[in-house]
Chain A
Amino acid sequence: MSLEITRLRLPLASFSLELDARLDAPVTGLFGASGAGKTSLLETIAGLRRPADGLISLDGVVLTDSAALVFRPPESRGVGFVPQDSALFTHLNVQENLCYSQRSRPRATRPGISYEHVRDVLNLGSLVARRIGSLSGGERQRVAFGRALLAAPHLLLLDEPLASLDRELKDQILPYLRLIRDEFKIPMLLVSHSADEIVALCDDVLVLEQGRCVRRGPPAGLFVVSPRPHHELAKPADVSPLKDGAA
């Protein structure tokens, strides 16, 4: 995967998001405090926001080019988006949610991503007939992952996928994210303000502050990870961006 962002400018309430970057890691993290512009960047890549300026292309396909007046609508970008609140369709059941991208019928979309495969990897088999209202927070998030995967995207955008879950549920969902990464090989762009999620999943990290990328590099170079037993996630306070991290 190669996502190229060239001279992107998106005016936000109190500052402008400005970015020039080429992302080609399997999982890239966007790290920063709330309001740094992370979600806005995801929405711009997904085509849910129009940037004032700039060019975004994915694997050579232009998604947005302000100079050439190109704006590909979200439905034809092949970019999956899982928002923080999972945004499931509450009037449909789990299976209908999963298969929405396939006109509500289970069928294989591309080699390697079949309904059965996604269902089994995300352990959704027992949920398919359930109503959305009856699902727990962790179950909702897994359904949201599955629904996005079944659209067979070229890039998956995850906006704070674990933020709404408590510590215990986070530990349950994190392995699923690793599974998605390893099983389906769909490149991911993961937004988080939690350093331990970034360290656990990402190969490359962009640290955003006030709409600008202030540091970039592999998580090992950007964060100090305190020695902890593997099964226990470090508190964000134990893990902080280094002052001398790669720019």
Chain B
Amino acid sequence: MSSDLWQVTWFTAWVAVTSTLVILPPGIALAWLLARRQWPGKSIVETLVALPLVIPPVATGLILLHLFGRRGLLGHWLENSLGIEIVFTWKAVVIATAVMSFPLLVRTARVAFENVSPRVEHVARTLGAGPWRVFWTITLPLARPGVIAGAVLAFARALGEFGATVMVAGFIPGKTETLSLSIYHSVELGRDGEAAAFLAVSVALAFVAVWCSERLLRRVAA
């Protein structure tokens, strides 16, 4: 295996882990809010969160490019006031994968929270636990298998993300080069052997991820 292949593999796995960790806290909070509370604008937020599942990933990437580009709403502010450049860096890759995998986490975790009986939470309250303690000791542990399943789905989605990433991060060797981008790039250049190597690593990585998550889920559910 060439050093390039190692680097791309490592970067892809690192991006998937980072984006999953980044979306976990807001994803869990939003899933809980959608499952347990009524608030104004709820259906709009629900729809917005689901959008990346429905619109083409390339279109999502274009939206992100407009948002985070140098002249974009957020990008302009980030660069001028904080000196942070997003587009065509690893940060863009993480943002693209995070946005694309967020709906999978939220939808799965939401169902998990909805399946926790409010009665059980009520009883915990009468046993002296405040809302925070009930969430951490009752609701979240009972919803854990679903939350983990959502995180695994998000991680898997992040591993394979292509369309949004290529729009907002481009293909910059050594900087924003993920496995799926590399496969496309190799095929485009007619380097079939290289593409096959990237493909093999992708499959192996996906296999390990799914295998681990199945084991984890079985242990949590037991």
Once A89-B138, A91-B141 are accepted as A-B contacts, the answer to whether A47 and B125 lie under 8 Å apart by CB is yes
Minimum CB distance partner of B122 in chain A: A48
Partner of A81, one of B117, B123, B129: B123
Is the CB–CB distance between B120 and A79 below 8 Å? no
A90 at the interface (CB under 8 A from B): yes
Once A100-B127, A151-B128 are accepted as A-B contacts, the answer to whether A74 and B142 lie under 8 Å apart by CB is no
Partner of B126, one of A75, A89, A90: A75
Within 8 A of A (CB), among B29-86: none
CA of A77 to CA of B127 in the docked complex: distance in angstroms?
Answer: 10
Within 8 A of B (CB), among A26-57: 43, 46-48
Is the CB–CB distance between B126 and A80 below 8 Å? yes
Once A75-B129, A75-B130, A100-B129 are accepted as A-B contacts, the answer to whether A89 and B124 lie under 8 Å apart by CB is yes
Interface size on A, residues (CB 8 A): 26
B219 at the interface (CB under 8 A from A): no
Once A75-B129, A100-B129 are accepted as A-B contacts, the answer to whether A83 and B123 lie under 8 Å apart by CB is yes
What residues on B are CB-neighbors of A47 within 8 Å?
Answer: 125-126
A69 at the interface (CB under 8 A from B): no
B218 at the interface (CB under 8 A from A): no
Once A90-B142, A91-B141 are accepted as A-B contacts, the answer to whether A79 and B126 lie under 8 Å apart by CB is yes
Given contacts A48-B126, A89-B124, 6 further A-B contacts (CB under 8 A): A47-B125, A75-B126, A80-B126, A81-B123, A85-B119, A90-B142
7 nearest A-B residue pairs (beta carbon)? A74-B125, A101-B127, A81-B126, A87-B123, A91-B141, A87-B120, A87-B119
